[in-house]
Structure 1
């Protein structure tokens, strides 16, 4: 196929700030570090060293997504985490599919992940047709009928930001299999997550079901601390949308509190289901 690639300048990986503590930012499926730049800048301003890599197959052309799978994304996330090994504490914040990768890191490397921020986690893709496709995934019906999924935009409520957004014009429908595999792996591993975790959803998300965030909260039974916020303003790409400043404040404050004190195994946020004001 022939389709337009993404703007390499906008989608470039970035590194910001200095500090003893670091935060790894993981972007979403078909997305790029651009999605997370405002959050990265806010965290760097709080004294964190921030790193936002590109996931394999992303930030380029639709064809680049043909040769990758979820193992490549997991491997890249692990490599990025290990590259921050010299820091005192490392936090991981992920958007959408990036939140699933962040959870995997917390399970696989519990000694290296000191806190999580799961933003619009892609636990459940929205819509009855996506539920049905997942149920029928072993028949690979979608791949035979519709090998490419075309995109004309992204889920942002702010028209100015939407006009500036780099967009991957298409992706192979086969990559949804990888998303579903990650979803299943994360839900199975959820009780093994022990680090403090913040979960943030957008009430008006058109890509993932916000109820999936609450499902995560209920499943994080071993986490030392859990906080849940529900944002009234903005759509799926929360860091770039109208709820972005509030999200940055919440995530920054959460990580700041973890940096200021060690969280004991028995600590639990007494109001994990209190929504943040939109």
Structure 2
């Protein structure tokens, strides 16, 4: 992976901040367009690179979900000097974001959960989970190989940094994070936005409404379902709409105006609030 593309970044300045968390085998590159849009609206944005990510498959051998949780918590606490802190996470990053909101309710003032990896798509992941239950996963398939990333835009796909493989042992960490996310849902007390892509080939988009129903203590939850683009929503065709929705959502929590007129794209395929 190109280290210049996958490096962590900080953008913008303002009294309020947003922590951006990327997904499993991804990097800050995946969420940078969202970060740029939020910075343009007056937020300070920080996107760390999670441990073991952004370099080589072997770098993931020596980390676990505890390292990712610890890194996310440290990044959040580093923002304590800001007036309000928002957290936005993509895929596995959304699971980590839920844990942060539950564990640090005084620090997290709003959430954006993008393509949350609550349940995976397809028979391949189902088979791997069955192997894990029988204690065979790492013996039968020690590595999972990747040939691309889930993006519909061919131009974006051509330039995407792709980790060619990852240790199958890390799937256990993902499954544990899924369980943790479900267990902490009732403890999340800040407003939240949940965004899914209808054509996601990595995670099941029907998990979006599951999260909405599970966020019982959140004072307000907005749900949007995007008809264009695949899993890496911030980089795909639905990215501008996602950025407008997240930006407007956080702006309302700040008590400021919603997005400028020239930033408002067409309405999503499906949206709702409770």
Taking structure 2 as the reference length, what is the TM-score of the superposition?
0.93
Task: Give the RMSD, CA atoms, in angstroms.
Answer: 1.5
- Report the more deviating stretch, 135-144 or 217-226: 135-144
**Is 1:57 matched up with 2:84?**
no
Q: Point out where structure 2 has 5 or more consecutive residues left out of the alignment.
A: 257-267
Q: 1:116 aligns with which of 104, 111, 118?
A: 111
**Is 1:98 matched up with 2:93?**
yes
**Is 1:199 matched up with 2:199?**
no
How far apart, CA to CA, are the structure 2 residues paired with 1:136 and 1:30?
A: 21
**Is 1:69 matched up with 2:26?**
no
Q: 1:256 aligns with which of 243, 247, 251?
A: 251
Q: 1:87 aligns with which of 82, 88, 106?
A: 82
SS in 1 for 2:10: strand
How far apart, CA to CA, are the structure 2 residues paired with 1:274 and 1:63?
A: 40
How far apart, CA to CA, are the structure 1 residues paired with 2:131 and 2:118?
A: 17
Map of 1:29 onto structure 2: 24
- 1:18-38 Cα shifts (integer Å, max 9, x gaps): 000000000000000000010
Q: Point out where structure 1 has 5 or more consecutive residues left out of the alignment.
A: 1-5, 262-272
Q: How many Å apart are 1:140 and its aligned residue?
A: 3.0
Q: How many Å apart are 1:136 and its aligned residue?
A: 4.8
**Is 1:181 matched up with 2:170?**
no
SS in 1 for 2:3: coil
Taking structure 1 as the reference length, what is the TM-score of the superposition?
0.91
Query: Superposition pairs for residues 121-132 of structure 1, below 5 Å?
Result: 121-132=116-127
How far apart, CA to CA, are the structure 1 residues paired with 2:26 and 2:68?
A: 13
